[in-house]
Amino acid sequence: MDEERIAGWVARINHSALGTLGATVRELQRVIGDQRSSFAQLSEVVQRDAALSARLLKIANSPAYVVSAELVTTVARAATLLGFDTVRSICITSRLLDTLLGAGGLAPDVAGRLLDRIAITLHAATQARMMMGGAAESTREEVFLAAVLGGIGESAFWSLPDPEVAALHETLSARGGAHTAAIHDVVGGSFAQLSAALLCSWGLADAADPAGTDGEERAARALHLGVDLAGRIAADGLRPRNLEPLFQHIAVLMNLTEEDAAHRVRDCARQAQELAACFGAGVLAQRMIGGAGTSPPAAGTSAPATAPAPPARRDAVRQAQALDELAACAESGADINAVLQVAMDGVQEGIGMDRTIAALLSPDRGALQTRLWRGNGGREWSTLFRFEVPTGRNIFRECVSGLAPFRYDAALPGTLHGLVPRELRRFAQGQDFVLAPIAVGSRAIGVLYADRSPSGRAIREEDFAAFRQLAQQLGQSLLRLAQREA
């Protein structure tokens, strides 16, 4: 290892935006490491950063980390329920993601490599934490943070707008290159060695190595398997043939059958995508599972080879066009599928949603299931939109019985928190969504659903207003179509 060259890269990184992370980490470490510290003191540290406070609340209420049946509304309550170690890993991970994703001045291909690396690291951390099931919560969080920080050297390197960084990217992109040697020539060692040196400069020399925790050997194995697993899934998706050797090792590590291990991995892949969205990094979810858009395929299926489409943006002209087309549908003799498709096109292209679904009620009105969908990777995630419509208070019951549209703000769910089933929050990947009845007169026949979970973009009030308008015009068109056919 060329220590001088490694030290030079550490200095460059610490003079970039990532350098400010050190102060935050040291303050968190000081509070958490002081046995006399209270949850109130920890909360005070977090509350100094408004964005970090909001994200902590969002994660505490997310399906991946949900810690209470009741909505958690204060940082102090979140810190108490999650615990010191979990708050530390969330805070450090959040700041790292914000800083790395905010890196500017990068060539598009280098930026893509950076996103791929961050996605694999976060996914690896989530899988490694899952593999430590049954261990103490502090151990599980140490493993999660160790996985996140273990990849910091490579991520930080690719975040630098530096000619040497761009040149190494070109070298590594060429087929048949000696990657290890090329990295050593530029960096002065491996990316793992760069990570160790960078963490040492931040006072986190031991954080990437969970040695000393209970189950030390198991933790090291979970870290290794998590990194290997996340890399394979990012490259080839959740194809069983590609992952069977790892399923065998995970089954032994967790004392499970291989079938159960495979199920845990697939479920954890979805949790990793949800967690990325909760961290405000929904763009990473697209890169965690090779060729599968934003959702893992069902067990036993293969992921399509298409790349995820970029997120759509609002288009007022396209929205107005969809409204006009809906108004003309009844006169043109269109069938219900064609009318639904026009409305969905308006939602997807006019309002700029990532995923749009038209789900119809079953004959007994007790369940909803996808009829039509719009959005990248929909062949995988559209089949997952299957929900019961219970007789009690529930957002689906309120929507179809009360003909009421809803906008769910994941950061401020308010009174809707108790109405939205956990399964729906999981489908939305912890992000915002909108829901409206598909009605013919005073009788609902289904729901129109839309979200921006893949890109992680918020749904604003003006978006909801446009969505309501399209849903209302859809209802009027369906009513005229029914009257015409009567």
Residue 73 Cα to chain centre, angstroms: 21
Among all chains, which residue has been given the structure tokens 């950061």?
Answer: 411
How far lies 305's CA from each of 118, 233, 381, 454, in Å? 21, 13, 15, 17
Closest Cα partner for 262 from 277, 274, 279, 250? 250
What architecture (CATH level 2) is domain 316-485?
2-Layer Sandwich (3.30)
Taking the C-alpha atoms of residue 5 and residue 466, their distance in angstroms, rounded to an integer, is: 55
Q: Which two tokens stand for residue 454?
A: 């893949």
Quick check: helix, strand or coil at residue 75? Answer: helix
Taking the C-alpha atoms of residue 225 and residue 189, their distance in angstroms, rounded to an integer, is: 23
- The whole-number pLDDT of residue 338 equals 82
Residue extents of the structural domains in the chain:
3-288, 316-485
Return the amino acid letter for 244: E
Name residue 369's beta-bridge partners.
360, 386
Quick check: helix, strand or coil at residue 232? Answer: helix
**Contact in structure between 284 and 115 (CB atoms under 8 Å):** yes
Taking the C-alpha atoms of residue 119 and residue 281, their distance in angstroms, rounded to an integer, is: 9
Q: Which two tokens stand for residue 415?
A: 């009174």
- The whole-number pLDDT of residue 472 equals 93
- The whole-number pLDDT of residue 300 equals 32
The ranges of the chain with pLDDT < 70 are 21-43, 45, 49-51, 62-71, 175-178, 206-215, 240, 291-314, 330-334, 415, 486
**Contact in structure between 118 and 100 (CB atoms under 8 Å):** yes
Residue 158 Cα to chain centre, angstroms: 21
What is the Cα Rg of the chain in Å? 24
What architecture (CATH level 2) is domain 3-288?
Orthogonal Bundle (1.10)
